[in-house]
Chains A and B, each alone.
Chain A
Amino acid sequence: MTKILLRYLNLLVLTLLVVIVFSFTLGYLFPGDVYTNLTGLESKAEALRYLKVDSDAGFFSLFIAYFSNTLVGQWGVSSITGEPLFSEVLLSLPATLELGFYALLLAVVVGLPCGFFAGLKPQRSLDMSILGASAVMYSFPVFWLAMVFILIFSLNLEWLPMSGRVDLLLNVPTVSGFIFVDILLADNIDKGHAFVDALKHLALPTLSVSIITMATLIRAVRRSTLDVMRKPYIIAAQSRGLSSAQIFLKHGMRNALLPILPIMAMQVTTLITNVMIVESLFSWPGMGHWLLQAIYQQDYPAIRTGLLAVAGAVIVLTIIIEVLSRLVDPSREKFDRVAV
């Protein structure tokens, strides 16, 4: 086990290193001056002071300086606002993770039971309708779905708000960046009202993001339930006289869930992409919204930082899920190549 954990640690460090090297080369690839791209500072002297290097520093020593700055959170400043990029990322990354987390939660809560029902009675009408629904859900363009939701629920029915995370009049101070935690921490506001308001703001973006993940999950769970229920140990359990509920709860469900975690690990990138697209439609103040503003305003240092933050978050999340799946599933090959 220690060996596997070490291999994952190695993978984590190496992949993060590759991402940092990639973000460093972006400084050369983006239009404009390298020092400006790496720090966001206009004048070369200030940029050199920020990186703590001499003006005659070569490619390699510049990278070392950039690397150590990146590790301590000195990610440069935005060339538009002049704010430190690290703190801007700290403000918007939690919003993205929050939306992604709730979408994943909704997908799991709806997707698992649907997948089980479909997989237990294959080729019946229930299975066919669930499978058909998941195929339809899987084919929606996420931005179009979000727009249709806005049109129906926000513009025509006026049930739900169409932008932001919480009513601005509530004036919730940002502490952690996660809206519900912030509401709990805030003083002198009506917490119940704020909770309901935040939930209302959350409903449409979460629904639009989770539809695709839900469809993937339903299909994966159905497939693996089908496979598991054909295994010899299920027949053995049947011959011992267990009821079908017992068989499913004791033997079927747990074994069917094992292959799901690695599939979820593969889905993290798709999920984050969809979150970033939906954010821009709902003006959700997350990484996607922030990065799109950065590209429209040609704020190159911000894009470099966005790469560091988003890719870093995806790597960490994927590896956490992978390690979890190794922990719950000892049957996976010990020397199976570890991969993101």
Chain B
Amino acid sequence: MSRFNLYQDEFHPSPWRQTWREFKRSHVAMAGVVVLAIFAFIAFFGPLISPYDPTLQNTDALLVPPSWDASGTVRYVMGTDALGRDLFSRLIHGAQVTFGTSVMLVLIAMLVGVAIGVMAGMSNGTRASVINHLLDALMVIPTLLLAIIIVAILGTGLVNSMWAITLALIPHFVHHTRNTVRELMNKEYILAARLDGASKTHIFVHSLLPNMIEMLVVQWTIALSVAILDITALGFLNLGAQGSTIELGAILADSVNVVYIAPWNIALPGLTIFAMVFAVNVVGDGLRAALNRRLRH
């Protein structure tokens, strides 16, 4: 039995599906997704694929060049560092720590930031102005300075540098959430919900959040690239990951002394960080472009 069709399309794609369709049109963005998927795989299964223990020191193989070099050996694909540790294994473990912690701390920063931002956006008067001034003051402290202060209070370590970066990222989320909430609160459907007697929580969950989620995803990718750069910078300056914790920035810091005789020890960790950040940025850009195109249709 044939059904009566009012519309040509039987099926209306959801907003997410539309965005995904627009996103897929950009090949560069898809390549970024693949690279991110590889890093995510490394973050979960890294120790299984690394050929050596990253802390194992082989004194017979100090500063072996990478395998593509004439004097390199295939036993150490990416060469070894000044203590004879396999660089490939160290990069895998480092990428695991750097990528994993960055994702975690951006999630924490987003949760806290959105909560404060919604409070600041939905309230007005003294409470909003106190929150705003405190956040302004937090926003003018550069990340490095905040990290130095937190390290001075709590001591060095990966977790402490994570706190510093989380604290520095929170105002970023608060700022965008507050502006979006302010904008949305003037819409008619919010007014309708309020006239129907909806509580603030109800308005937030059913009216604000669905309209904010796309902005949050885009902001999340921006914050993720900032977080990766910051966490490696702190590791490099010996304020973050220490000693046995292998982190990409700390690997770079270990190799500074051999930069002239073994440049691959600097080049490869740096390129790994670069690939990670570049993939995140490309995916973020693609997402933003896809959202813009969808909204224009």
Contact = CB atoms under 8 A, between A and B. Distances in A.
Interface of A: 11, 14-15, 18-19, 22, 26, 29-31, 135-136, 138-144, 147-148, 150-151, 155, 269-270, 272-273, 276-277, 280, 288, 291-292, 294-296, 298, 300, 303, 306-307, 310-311, 314-315, 318, 337, 339-340
B132 interface: yes
A31 B132 CA distance: 30
B153 A155 contact: no
B141 interface: yes
B259 interface: yes
Contacts of A314: 140-142
Contacts of A31: 152-153
A148 B142 CA distance: 24
B149 A15 contact: no
Given A135-B281, A139-B274, A295-B151, A307 B145 contact: yes
Interface in B188-239: 225, 229, 232-233, 236-239
Nearest to A340: B136
A14 B259 contact: no
Contact of A144 (B144, B237, B266, B282): B266
B237 A141 contact: no
Contact of A311 (B140, B152, B270): B140
B95 to A, nearest CB: 13
B137 to A, nearest CB: 4
Contacts of A298: 152
A277 B142 CA distance: 11
B133 to A, nearest CB: 5
Contact of A138 (B140, B144, B273, B281): B281
B136 A303 contact: no
B246 interface: no
Contacts of A296: 238
Nearest to B148: A295
A141 B141 contact: no
8 contacts: A18-B134, A18-B136, A22-B137, A140-B274, A151-B263, A269-B143, A295-B152, A310-B141
A12 to B, nearest CB: 10
B116 to A, nearest CB: 15
Contact of B133 (A18, A140, A269, A273): A18
Interface of B: 132-134, 136-137, 139-145, 148-149, 151-153, 225, 229, 232-233, 236-239, 249, 252, 256, 259-260, 263, 266-267, 269-270, 273-274, 277-278, 281-282, 285
B274 A144 contact: yes
Q: 5 tightest A-B contacts by CB?
A: A18-B137, A144-B270, A139-B278, A273-B142, A139-B277
Nearest to B274: A139
A141 B274 contact: yes
B278 A135 contact: yes
Given A151-B263, A273-B145, A295-B152, 15 more contacts: A26-B149, A136-B278, A138-B281, A140-B274, A141-B274, A148-B270, A272-B142, A277-B233, A291-B144, A292-B148, A303-B149, A307-B141, A311-B141, A337-B132, A340-B140
B292 to A, nearest CB: 11
A155 B278 contact: no
A241 B124 CA distance: 50
Provide the main secondary structure of the chain A interface. Answer: helix
Given A18-B133, A140-B274, A141-B232, A147 B152 contact: no
B233 A311 contact: no
Q: Which of A22, A30, A340 has the most CB of B within 10 A?
A: A340
Contacts of B136: 11, 15, 18, 339-340
A279 B225 CA distance: 22
Contacts of A138: 281
A269 B139 contact: yes
Contacts of B139: 269, 340
Contacts of A339: 132, 136
Contacts of B260: 151, 155
Nearest to A131: B285
Contact of A15 (B140, B236, B239): B140
B283 to A, nearest CB: 11
B137 A147 contact: no
B259 A155 contact: yes
Q: Which of B145, B151, B225, B263 has the most CB of A within 10 A?
A: B145
B160 to A, nearest CB: 12
A310 B145 CA distance: 8
Contacts of A155: 259-260
Contacts of A135: 278, 281-282, 285
A141 B145 contact: no
Contacts of A22: 137
A144 B273 contact: yes
Given A15-B140, A18-B134, A135-B281, A144 B152 contact: no
A291 B148 CA distance: 8
Given A273-B143, A280-B237, A303 B137 contact: no
A138 B222 CA distance: 11
Contacts of B263: 151
Given A142-B233, A295-B152, A315 B277 contact: no
A102 B14 CA distance: 49
Contacts of B232: 141, 143
B179 to A, nearest CB: 9
B144 A288 contact: yes
A275 to B, nearest CB: 9
Contacts of B137: 15, 18-19, 22, 311, 340
A14 to B, nearest CB: 5
Contacts of B282: 135
Nearest to A269: B142
A247 B35 CA distance: 43
